[in-house]
Amino acid sequence: MVNIDGTRLLADLHELRSYGASGGGVVRPSYSEQDMAARAWLTSRMAEAGLDSFVDDVGNAVGVSPNTGPTLLVGSHSDTQPTGGWLDGALGVIYGLEVARALLEDQHTRHLSVDAVAWIDEESTYASCVGSKQFCGVLEARDLASRNRAGEQLADAIARNDLGFNRPYKLDSSRHVGYLEAHIEQGPRLEEVGYLIGAVTSIVGIRAVKVTFSGQQNHAGTTPMHLRADAGVALFDYAARLRERFSAVATGSTVWTFGNAVLEPGAESIVPGQAHLTAQFRDPDDELLTAMQNEMEALAREMSAEGPVGVSVIADRDGIKPTMMSPALIDHVAQAAELHAPGKWMQMPSAAGHDPMVISHHLPCGMLFIPSINGISHDFSEDSLEDDIIRGCQVLADAVVAALGSAPG
């Protein structure tokens, strides 16, 4: 047990919010002036907490514990979406700082080793999860060549900020035993049932599939209904039939979305000759995703055989695989949640992506969620209750203490 300082936690969150503040939200994309200023401030707060702090060679703000022994890395990312909320990423970053700080202040825990981190460019301003990739040694040339919307390459953003010869921060398997990240849920599941903590079990996998319908473009007046091969009608039919099939295989964690549909040529007086449907689906179970993709392909074959419109599927066969959290870390989060929110927490997958998608391939990961008001995120109106913010940090601190207490010495 260790007690975090809720007042200090909220003060630091609001201080971080001031970097790039815009309306109720924050505009602090990675490698911007605001982002780099925030990282300088973060390292100063880490240093005040007794951590060996620096901005590393790719821009991560890092506070290394002065202690030896098994080390937990705790944090999140401090960059934001182009028009982001004040808690996405920032919450987990200040939690990392507060947990490391509170542990060092308490005589019962000051021997425990926690590194605090603020990853850079999780939000894909240039590439995705740039900071955690560099930490894991998997940042590739194609990432460095990726550009932001203004056309600047990641490599140039790093050079512009004079980061290249900074001290590196790398995964040290003789030292690091796990990574813990707290985050706002970014969805409405906790709020809907009145729960206060989510013990994240996985990050869902994602498949994206494009379906093309090939009919015969024709005059909307002179072509009788029974002689039409209407690609648009086939698309509507496919979507309706697929919803039934998806519903039959889905679990409560499954989501699917028809994000776009295009009819060609898209004119009032022309029977569409071509149509295109975009489907995306997410679930923690990769086999279920494969089953859903198989349903899409089977339905395309059936409708092509029925005619008159041909249906073909271009599948993102590999997609993004689900990311599994460490069972031990899930359990530590769950036990701490039961202590501070008895009966009001649940295990749940994350439906959004996070740095553990990279890190979990190299180090056991755990995550916890606190409720998002109205489930809103990636928006200026993103917010969470102060009591929920403080409770989440206390749960994380206790999970860290338990994890390090049970870690091999």
Stretch in the footprint of its own copies (CB under 8 A) among 77-85, 274-282, 285-293, 388-396: 274-282
Binding residue (CB under 8 A) for its own copies from 7, 23, 142, 225: 225
d(CA 49, CA 37): 19
Binding residue (CB under 8 A) for its own copies from 155, 239, 339, 407: 239
**Minimum distance from CB of 227 to its own copies (Å)?**
6
The answer to whether 277 and 264 are in contact (CB under 8 A) is: no
Stretch in the footprint of its own copies (CB under 8 A) among 24-32, 52-60, 269-277, 292-300: 269-277
Stretch in the footprint of its own copies (CB under 8 A) among 39-47, 91-99, 130-138, 229-237: 229-237
The answer to whether 59 and 120 are in contact (CB under 8 A) is: yes
**Minimum distance from CB of 83 to its own copies (Å)?**
14
DSSP for 334-368 reads HHHHHHHSTT-EEEEEESS--THHHHTTTS-EEEE
Binding residue (CB under 8 A) for its own copies from 258, 346, 347, 385: 258
Q: Is 189 in the site for its own copies (CB under 8 A)?
A: yes
As given in the structure block, the two tokens for residue 365 are 């990961």
d(CA 118, CA 59): 9
Quick one: 205 or 364, whose CB is closer to its own copies?
A: 205
CA 308 centroid distance within chain: 42
Quick one: 292 or 397, whose CB is closer to its own copies?
A: 292
Q: What are the C-alpha distances in Å from 380 to residues 30, 123, 352, 383?
A: 17, 16, 18, 9
Q: Is 352 in the site for its own copies (CB under 8 A)?
A: yes
Q: Is 204 in the site for its own copies (CB under 8 A)?
A: yes
Binding residue (CB under 8 A) for its own copies from 110, 245, 321, 378: 378
Q: Is 251 in the site for its own copies (CB under 8 A)?
A: no
Angle subtended at Cα 366 by Cα 342 and Cα 391, rounded to the nearest 5 degrees: 35
User: Of 95, 112, 82, 6, which is closest to residue 369 (Cα–Cα)?
Assistant: 95
**Minimum distance from CB of 39 to its own copies (Å)?**
27
Q: Which of residues 74-133 bind its own copies (CB under 8 A)?
A: none
User: Of 292, 287, 286, which is closest to residue 211 (Cα–Cα)?
Assistant: 292
Q: 308: cis peptide before it, omega within 30°?
A: yes
Q: Is 381 in the site for its own copies (CB under 8 A)?
A: no
**Minimum distance from CB of 60 to its own copies (Å)?**
25
d(CA 114, CA 100): 6
* Chain contacts with its own copies (rule: CB under 8 A): 185-189, 192, 204, 206, 208, 219-225, 227, 230, 232-233, 235-237, 239-240, 243, 250, 252, 254-263, 266-272, 278, 280, 282, 351-353, 375, 377-378
